[in-house]
Amino acid sequence: MNRNPAIRPVEKAAFALYNMAWRIILPALRRNQRLAIGFENRLLKGPLKKNVHIWIQAASGGEAYLAWELLKSLSGPRRLTAVLTTNTLQGKEILEKAVQDIKGRKPNVEAQVTYFPFDMPLIMEKAVRRIRPRVMVLLETEIWPGLFLALKRHERPAVIVNGRMTEKSLSRYRIWPAFWRSIRPDHILAISNEDADRFAALFGSRAVATMSNIKFDRVQEADPTGDALDTFHSIVKPGTDFAVLGSVRQEEETDLENILRDLNQRRPDAVIGLFPRHLHRVPHWQNALDRLGLSWGQRSMMKEPAESGQVVLWDVFGELNTAYQCASAAFVGGSLAPLGGQNFLEPLFVGLKPVIGPHWRNFLWVGTQIVDQGLVHQADSWQDVAGFMVAGMARPEAKETIRQKAAAYIHKRQGGTQMACELITKYL
């Protein structure tokens, strides 16, 4: 039973205006290239499963992976029915893969994947009346007033799991806190004390708790095969002093040119593996390496192992993780420019402490403690990156020790999926 406060006339008037605004903007949204995909589903004109156990909303690709983890771990009725919704094509494709994977593991699960309806109150009223979920699960930052109103009217419980909220978002919501409290969800599991405090400031603290981030449960330690290592050693001989510049992005290429020049000057014997994140940047790097006067070879064209002091321009997918395993120093790109950063856990789990720049918001869920504990080196400039890498090549640490410390860090933070599933199961 939803015990949220009653909606006052002023909030009802606000919803009427919100509904009217949707009527006005819907024709324009039809012309939006992204929203045009599945537009009829977003208007609720397609079939929907009825009277399901659980409705999970995963905004995009990242949240879709979390939904996958939840469904994989969820125990419940002998037959579990679900509707999985998302806002994006990528999210839909991931959810469809999840359903196929889970069917092989748990034949009792029946799930429909479709696009999340537009939050127009009349559309959401229809959606909730059709689906009638025993519980509505929203992942991370999903606060939809039309949906919450419809759930409240039909006494369908709503929970937010893996919840996060920024100060900026909170400041917008707090313009009218009474409005949000009138339709607040039944439970919120936030991924940090700070996020929990923000949710509590908006909805009240009664039903807010913390959990470990489900993303920790998805972390898998790499295990390169012997064949992968054999292939790699045909390019970089075992025992070579080897440094990796991994997943480098276009916006940081000027800094990377400086790092290449500096590393080559300070460690002229080292082989450097240059891995552009996007292969369409390979021609740029061909010209840049010539302009820098560096000796280089293109991975796909090399028939012999790299020579001392050579830069290997990697234009082949699938070998970066093996490169990390064989390197004595590595920089993980997307982090010297404000791009959010790339996955620095990959080198860490093969026993290499990575260097990253100051911009790694995509992986802040890992926690700044990973820097504080010295498992990851955060550099503020290209000069710092080069300095950390030179030091790493001069004094390499035992890879097995690093692997064990990284595993302990992650394992200590796992268990969020189980906690979320325990909450959801109470409603099933």
Share the mean pLDDT of the chain: 93
Mean pLDDT of 264-287: 97
Distances in Å between the alpha carbon of 230 and those of 65, 244, 246, 398? 32, 18, 20, 22
Q: How confident is the model at residue 5 (pLDDT cuts 50, 70, 90)?
A: low
pLDDT value of residue 12: 86
Q: How confident is the model at residue 2 (pLDDT cuts 50, 70, 90)?
A: very low
DSSP assigned state of 117: P
CA distance 185 to 7: 14
CA torsion angle 48 49 53 59 (round to 10):
-30
Mean pLDDT of 187-204: 94
The β-bridge relationship of strands 158-163 and 80-86 is unpaired
Inter-residue long-range contacts of 292-299, CB under 8 Å, 24+ positions, other chains counted: 292/257, 292/260, 292/261, 294/260, 294/261, 294/264, 299/235
Which residue(s) pair with 158 in the sheet? 136
- Spatial contact of 351 and 371, defined as CB atoms under 8 Å apart: no
User: What SS3 state is found at 305?
Assistant: coil
Portion of the chain with pLDDT greater than 90, in percent: 83
- pLDDT tops 70 at residue 224: no
Portion of the chain with pLDDT greater than 70, in percent: 96
> How far from the centroid of its chain's Cα atoms is residue 370's Cα?
17
CA distance 132 to 154: 8
Q: Give which of 352, 361, 294 is closest to 324, Cα–Cα.
A: 352
pLDDT value of residue 107: 86
CA distance 311 to 319: 16
Give the pTM. 0.84
pLDDT value of residue 342: 95
Which residue(s) pair with 296 in the sheet? 311
Amino acid type, 149: L
Q: How confident is the model at residue 311 (pLDDT cuts 50, 70, 90)?
A: very high
User: What SS3 state is found at 81?
Assistant: strand
Could you give the domains of the chain?
A: 9-213+415-427 (3.40.50.11720), 226-412 (3.40.50.2000)
Q: How confident is the model at residue 223 (pLDDT cuts 50, 70, 90)?
A: low
pLDDT digits (tens, 9 = 90+) for 235-244: 999 999 999 9
